[in-house]
Amino acid sequence: MIFSVASWIWSVCFALLELDVAFPVGAASIEEIVLRWVHIVAGILWAGFLSFFILAVGPMLKSLDPATRAKVFPELAARGLWWLRWSAMVSWLAGFRYFMILARPTRSTLDGLTRGAAGSVSGSPAGWPPSPLKWF
């Protein structure tokens, strides 16, 4: 048993030594890192405020009498929903920009499309009209 654990540990160590780790260099990589972290932090804020309103504010407002609720709710809603809205917007925009960076076509995909790969997918040499036989 000890031999198998030791051999497993050595295998993991050698596998980690074989990794080709390259740290990001350049402005594009820095933009990706910043966008990823902004997306994560804004998403955590968004989920936190949403769950706070659902789990804490809703039951608390139900337990208050109507006169107190009328005083508390406008102030609480104005500040809390502002953060909820903008954290959702920042999270979505940062995530969409990050996705658009990652989904950028490479040179090889652009070369494949100019050689007629789009036409072969649809079934006709020109790419249009699409062949009905490919639909089924």
| pTM score, whole prediction | 0.58
Contacts of range 34-42, beta carbons closer than 8 Å, 24 or more positions apart: 35/94, 35/95, 35/97, 35/98, 35/101, 36/98, 38/90, 38/94, 39/91, 39/94, 39/95, 39/98, 42/87, 42/88, 42/90, 42/91, 42/94
Tell me, yes or no, whether 11 lies in a domain: no
Tell me, yes or no, whether 105 lies in a domain: no
Tell me, yes or no, whether 12 lies in a domain: no
Round to whole Å and give the CA distance between 121 and 46.
Answer: 41
Tell me, yes or no, whether 126 lies in a domain: no
Range of the domain at 83: 25-99
Total tally of structural domains belonging to the chain: 1
Condensed to tens digits (0 to 9), the pLDDT of residues 18-76 reads 665 555 677 778 888 899 999 999 999 999 999 998 998 888 888 989 899 899 888 88
Burial 71-87 (b: 16+ CB within 10 A, else e): eeeeeeeeeeeeebeeb
Q: DSSP secondary-structure letter at 19?
A: -
pLDDT at 88: 94
Name residue 86's amino acid. W
Tell me, yes or no, whether 2 lies in a domain: no
